[in-house]
Amino acid sequence: MLRLLTRLCGTTLLLALAACSGSSTPSSVHSSSTSRGTLAENPPLRIASLDAATLQADLSATPSGAQLLQITGAPICGVDFYYLQFWTVGGANESTESSGALMVPTGSAAACSGPRPIVLYAHGTQTNKAANIADITDPNNAEGALIAAMFAAQGYIVVAPNYAGYDTSTLGYHPYLDATQQSDEMIDILAAARSALPNTLASATSDNGKLFVTGYSEGGYVAMATQRALIASGATVTAAAPMSGPYAVEAFGDAIFFGHVDLGSTVFAPLLTTAYQHAYGDIYTTTSDVYSPTYASGIDTLLPSTMPIATIFASNLLPQTALFDSATPTVTIPGNAALSAQLTAALAVPSDPNNPDTPLFDLGFGSSYLINNAYRVSYALDAAADPDGAVPTPSAGVPLAAVEPTQTLRKAFYLNDMRYGAWAPNSPTLLCGGDQDPTVFFQVNTGTMQAYWSGTPAAPLISVLDVSAPPAGPFSAVQTAFQQSQAAELAYYESAAGGGNSPAAAAQLLVEGYHSSVAPFCSLAARSFFSQF
């Protein structure tokens, strides 16, 4: 998460909450039911309670906290933080307990009690198995702090799952980018939160029926999948704001396998293959089918982990950036030497001097790499036989591959792509991100979904915000603020306080942090968007 938020959560919030946290809720009743959406304990545990004045004073006490307030605005409401434990299902439809947050606005202001709208929020990728977005006393819970200040302290009831496989969930894996499971879990925690709300200490705050769905990164994908699932169920979504998500999973996978390797890919890969192996059972026979001998053993149970990701890299359990072999694999297609040569060239380390992203993509290759050459070739052959409509050259309507893929990982991407099922939003939808994102490519994902819905009845409902574009339109203030923040961050990295880096090194650090840095500004845009409805 953003550097300023990391520093913030490690200081002021922890100190303030130490004095006001507690479980001063009525005696809870334990449910014997394991039906989806059922609360395990009702009322849920209240972890902490902050009034608006304390929250503002606490944030204002440090430069980083003051900077966060400049983005979110001063708190209008206090916030009660509740810890929900509820029942859902895993990727193989197995019953599992999960957990998450219910953040309830409190206070005397009109926006802080009575009927209030719900923001159903999905968080970004986590490697820490113990992560709990409800625990605002955790100094590492930067995303929890952000959504509390951005939404709950402004009068929205916030509901946010930790996801199955995290915190107290006994599921031995996380169903990562599994559209069915993750949308089901979002709907389950929403049901659990609605049953908990009347029994909380903030019971004067109630659900007014307006539902806003949003999330960032992995959560952006989950938010869009949840919007789709809610529409299919007949539920009403007032508005949605998926942010920086990998929506076009097949197109994104194709771009990566053909050498446009995103930052974080060596973490995302094992999360994906493990999730899809549990969901479909055919991604591999053994992990060595996919992964190089250096990393294959134990990779299916590696993430999420209680071991810090830095330790995982340092212990050589994963390579930090090298997804593929720097030695180009040879593609041989019997009877088609021309296509064989073309595909072999397409799998080489990027070498386009006119592409500013080439140095970034180069990081995805090395001599100690994650994915087997043979597996990469099998994926490339499938993509060449039946290409996605979005990459490498977009076609009208950017359709999915015309025929369901036969390569099993690509087939999983196809089934979980947000173009699958030919659905479209039926309520206002904001897609926010940044076109310089090295982690979740903006044009391949946000651009593809925008193009997919263009010319359909849904098109007038879709708004797209690129925070790096020249400021213009209803979100120009957000774009200006983000770009000023990036300039300040670059100056910080070049300063003594930021390490006194060379301009080139500072620019590299800025690129590495770009994806996280977009989050608060897209969240601000989402709140502004929701306020219209």
Mean pLDDT by 10 residues, the chain (533 residues): 37 40 57 91 95 87 79 97 98 97 97 98 98 92 93 98 97 98 98 97 95 98 99 98 98 97 98 98 98 98 98 98 97 94 96 84 96 98 96 93 97 98 97 98 98 96 98 98 97 96 96 97 98 98
Residue 426 CA from chain centroid, whole number: 23
* 8-state DSSP, 322: -
Residue given tokens 């310089």 in the structure block: 436
- How much is the pLDDT for 65? 72
Please give the single-letter amino acid code of residue 512: E
Please give the helix or strand (H or E) that residue 118 lies within, else none. strand 114-122
Provide the 8-state DSSP code for 386: S
Rounded to a whole number of angstroms, the CA Rg of the chain reads 23
Q: Count CB atoms within 10 A of the CB of residue 282.
A: 12
CA distance 152 to 79: 6
- Output the pLDDT for position 1: 35
**What is the value of pTM for the model shown?**
0.95
pLDDT of residue 25: 53
125: closest CA among 175, 186, 193, 68? 175
Distance CA 242, CA 222 (A): 8
How far is 158 from 44, CA to CA, in rounded Å? 15
Q: Which residues of the chain form CATH 3.40.50.1820?
A: 3-248+421-530
Q: Which CATH class is domain 3-248+421-530?
A: alpha beta
pLDDT value, residue 6: 37
- Per DSSP, 433 falls in state E
Give the model's pLDDT for residue 69: 87
Query: What's the rounded Cα separation, in Å, for the pair 268 and 253?
Result: 11
| DSSP-H helix ranges across 292-386 | 309-314, 337-346, 358-362, 373-385
